[in-house]
Amino acid sequence: MLRYARGSVRVACRGGSRTARNRNIFGHVKNTKMILNDIGQIVYNSWQWLEKQYEYVELDKFVVMPNHMHGIINIVEKHVTNDVGAGFPRPIDDKGQGNLAPT
């Protein structure tokens, strides 16, 4: 059976140790409202950027919390293309058919 080594999430602090998940990395909650710090704002903006960058990504509900975030990403088929990637057309043989690699 395979076993995976996991590093500790504990960080050193005065008076003992505490887990990283107890740190407010992205901001804090004040009067039931999340107040984002600079790093939290980067997370928020990066989430919004995904939908602008990738046409096949649709973003659903998300929430940035003090030490993590939750979000739903829908991957959708916008259109079918004959490109193989990076905007290059699919290779064709001398008969005008798709040239597939031999298997």
| Higher pLDDT pick, 67 / 90 | 67
Q: Is the pLDDT of residue 84 over 70?
A: no
pLDDT of residue 82: 56
Residue 77's pLDDT band, with cuts at 50, 70 and 90, is confident
List % helix, strand, coil for the chain (3-state, nearest 5). Answer: 20, 35, 45
**pTM passes above 0.85:** no
Residue 45's pLDDT band, with cuts at 50, 70 and 90, is very high
Contacts of 70 (CB under 8 A, 6+ apart): 62, 63
Q: In whole angstroms, give the CA distance from residue 7 to residue 87.
A: 41
| Higher pLDDT pick, 3 / 25 | 25
